[in-house]
Amino acid sequence: MASPHSPVPALIDRLRQAGCVFAEQEAHLITTTARTPTEQDHMVARRCAGQPLEHVLGWALFRGLRVQVDEGVFVPRPRTEFLAQRAAALLTPGALAVDLCCGSGALGAALAHTRHDITLHAADIDAASVACARRNLPGHTVHHGDLYHALPTRLRGRIQVLVANVPYVPTDRIALLPAEARVHEHRRALDGGTDGLDLLRRVTDQARHWLAPGGHLLVEVEQQQIPAARHAFTRGGLSCTVATCPDREATVLTGTR
Q: Which residues contact 86 (CB under 8 A, 6 or more apart)?
A: 218, 243, 252, 254
Measured CA to CA, the distance from residue 52 to residue 60 in angstroms comes to 10
As a CATH number, domain 80-256 is 3.40.50.150
**Each residue's pLDDT expressed in tens, for the chain with a length of 257 residues:** 345 555 678 899 999 999 998 999 999 999 999 999 999 999 999 999 999 999 999 999 999 999 999 998 999 999 999 999 999 999 999 999 999 999 999 999 999 999 999 999 999 999 999 999 999 999 999 999 999 999 999 999 999 999 999 998 888 888 887 777 787 777 788 878 899 999 999 999 999 999 999 999 999 999 999 999 999 999 999 999 999 999 999 999 999 99
* 250 neighbors 220 (Cβ within 8 angstroms): yes
d(Cα 168, Cα 207) in Å, to the nearest integer? 18
Alpha-carbon distances of 148 from 49, 114, 118, rounded to whole Å: 37, 24, 20
In 51-198, the DSSP E strands lie at 59-62, 65-68, 96-100, 119-124, 141-144, 159-164
Rounded to whole angstroms, the Cα distance separating 168 from 150 reads: 21
- The residue ranges of every structural domain in the chain are 9-49, 80-256
pTM: 0.91
- What is the sign of the dihedral through the CA atoms of 123, 73, 53 and 168? negative
Q: Whose CA is closest to 124, among 63, 194, 70? A: 70
Q: What DSSP designation does 63 have? A: T
